[in-house]
Amino acid sequence: MDLTVILGMVLALASISIGDIMEGGNPIHILHITSFIIVIPTAMASAMTATSQEYVIAAFKELKVVFKKSPIDIAARIKQIVDFAIIARKDGILALESHANAMEDEFFKKGLSMAVDGVEAHEIEETLEVLLEETEEYYHGAAHYWMHAGENCPVMGLIGAVLGLILALQKLDDPPAMAAGIGGAFTATVFGISGSYIILGPWGHKLHAKSRDIIKEKHVILAGILGISHGDNPRTLEMKLLNYLSPLLPKKSQFDQK
């Protein structure tokens, strides 16, 4: 579970609620089911209209990525690649065939299998680059759907507020009911802005951020496979791959630990 997502939403809603309570309000009054229906599903539907069908499907399929802790471990992947480079250096690249067949990552499996089969490095690079571009486009489209839905929320909130005001003004002969109607109308605006900046929009940006980690790992894999295919020295290959690590992570060589 990615606590930054849960905590971010909870703390944002909590800070708004606390501020409302301090001003004498009651956050429960904001929970207006009609406003929710007018704003959130409508914003998502309009984003669906503007997004390619495959990316709409991808958006809901990959939503779990937003809430899960990223499984990407670049340092561990680099170590694995360097270990393969050592095996290829000692026993030849054909010794990696069993490792390629047992690989769970399809991108890595495809590239390593091509290298073992003796495919030229430039052909491996061309093939994997296409897969990289398609993967990047896939996640970009999925993330953009949620971003687009978030962008639509404030406008849908405005529509909800206007509809509520129209209904409220029909109750001029009953001031208390009209006042309640006006109050309910503005809850749509609250839902619109909150949905945009606390829920849907941040989901899209988080998915986009995590997809960058996925793409980075694939760049590391591609560079590693090309290095193995070229017969690069494992230590030299490791030095190159360590440059992909975030500045927050230590760039320790596994050869220094031996």
Q: What confidence category does residue 201 fall into, taking pLDDT thresholds of 50, 70 and 90? A: very high
In a domain, 36, yes or no: yes
Residue 179 phi/psi, 5-degree rounding, is -65, -40
Spatial distance between the Cα atoms of 48 and 15, rounded to a whole number of angstroms: 31
Spatial distance between the Cα atoms of 199 and 8, rounded to a whole number of angstroms: 9
Q: pLDDT tens, 136-168? A: 999 999 999 999 999 999 999 999 999 888 888
In a domain, 25, yes or no: no
Average pLDDT over residues 127-132: 95
In a domain, 170, yes or no: yes
Average predicted confidence (pLDDT) for the chain: 91
Q: What is the pTM of this model?
A: 0.87
More confident call, 110 vs 171: 110
Q: pLDDT tens, 34-76? A: 889 999 999 999 999 999 999 999 999 999 999 999 889 999 9
Closest alpha carbon to 66 in 208, 194, 193, 196:
208
Q: pLDDT tens, 210-239? A: 999 999 999 999 999 999 999 889 999 999
Residue 248 phi/psi, 5-degree rounding, is -80, -15
Closest alpha carbon to 115 in 224, 234, 236, 233:
224
What total number of domains does the chain contain? Answer: 1
Spatial distance between the Cα atoms of 131 and 137, rounded to a whole number of angstroms: 10
In a domain, 14, yes or no: no
In a domain, 186, yes or no: yes
For helices 74-91 and 201-230, the axis angle rounded to 10 degrees is 10
Out of 111-125, 169-183, 199-213, which region has the weakest mean confidence (pLDDT)?
A: 169-183
Residue ranges making up the domain that contains 79: 32-257
Q: pLDDT tens, 86-105? A: 999 998 999 999 999 988 99
